[in-house]
Amino acid sequence: MLVLLFIAMSSTGAIADEKLMLFCGAHFKQPMDEITGLFREKIGIEINSNYASVGTLFSQIMLGKQGDMLILPSNDLMEKAKEKGLILPDSIKGLGYSVPAINIQQGNPKNIRTLKDLARPGIRVALGNPETVFIGTLGVEIVEKTLSSEEKNLFRKNVVAYAEDFPKLSSMLMLKQVDAIIGFHYLGLWYPDKVETVKFKPEEIQRISAGQASIISYSKNIPSARRFIDFLMTGECQAVFKKDNYFATPEEAFSWIGAKKPIGGEYTVPQDWIKR
């Protein structure tokens, strides 16, 4: 008896019911939710997305030894992923640039105008956990390199919470649990009825975020994973990042800042921030 095996294919060439697993820094949740939906519609491949802090993503990938794509908010973090053997080095692609900023409640009820205002008595501040959250690390670096010793002590007294990822950090501000966070330039544009953005002075910004995407070394679907990475580079996906107010190029970010700054790069958080 002749048995014919049929592989169900979509009109785009994807195997029916094929799924990919994306590990993505929570910083990119909004555009990636839209982009993975577009990929499903156009290519016919479902993507299960896991958004978390970078430290959590690394732990999950190493423990589970699974996943297909990894997206991180900085090139130095992707370099660490490469050193750990978590990604295919030749698969790395760049995307979306972001600038750290102070995010405050809409209407600015506490009259926060500068970084030093976050050290004023009675101001409630939240940061991303600097051990695991990229914007937390950026925020600590800005504070450490800008404020005086006295101002740093006052600032730290005002820090009432350390969030485990960027969406939770943003929620604290929008729910009015805090007066300000050190976040990103785009948050006030996402939620104009709830959030305003105060720029850091150009000299206060130490570096900007440069997103990177890659294929996870444990992937069992490398051709489809590569297809997704290539899809991220299309004009359609770049338009999503632009709509969500990420900068398309470093030059756009530098123009917003008013100065040229390092892109990514490492910073070692002082131990007294880690052992809070």
CATH classification at residue 143: 3.40.190.10
Tell me, what amino acid is at 256?
W
pLDDT along the chain (276 residues), means of 10: 39 63 93 96 95 92 96 90 95 93 97 98 96 92 97 97 93 97 95 96 95 96 96 94 91 96 90 77
Distance CA 68, CA 47 (A): 10
157/171 same-domain check: yes
User: How far apart are the two ends of the chain, measured CA to CA in Å?
Assistant: 71
Does any domain span residue 12? no
The continuous run of DSSP H or E covering 145 comes out as: helix 134-146
88/216 same-domain check: yes
217/110 same-domain check: no
Question: For 245-265, how does the pLDDT look when each residue is reduced to its tens digit (9 = 90+)?
Answer: 999 889 999 999 999 999 988
69/159 same-domain check: no
215/195 same-domain check: no
Domain span holding position 89: 19-97+210-245
* pTM attached to this predicted model: 0.85
* pLDDT of amino acid 74: 87
CA distances from 253 to 28, 169, 250 (A): 17, 22, 5
* pLDDT of amino acid 76: 85
* pLDDT of amino acid 14: 53
Tell me, what amino acid is at 36?
T
Supply the DSSP symbol for 148. -
202/88 same-domain check: no
Residues in the chain, how many? 276
Does any domain span residue 162? yes
161/76 same-domain check: no
DSSP secondary structure letters along 26-93: GGGHHHHHHHHHHHHHHH--EEEEEEE-HHHHHHHHHHH---SEEEES-HHHHHHHHHTT-B-GGG-E
* pLDDT of amino acid 62: 96
Sheet holding 100-105, edge to edge: 159-163, 125-128, 180-184, 100-105, 195-198
Residue 70: which residues within 8 A CB-CB, separation 6 or more? 22, 23, 24, 57, 61, 78, 81, 86, 87, 213, 214, 215, 216
Distance CA 238, CA 5 (A): 39
234's tokens: 């299309």
Question: For 2-35, how does the pLDDT look when each residue is reduced to its tens digit (9 = 90+)?
Answer: 333 333 444 445 555 689 999 999 889 999 999 9
Does any domain span residue 255? no
Domain total in the chain: 2
User: Quick count: other Cβ atoms within 10 Å of Cβ 4?
Assistant: 4
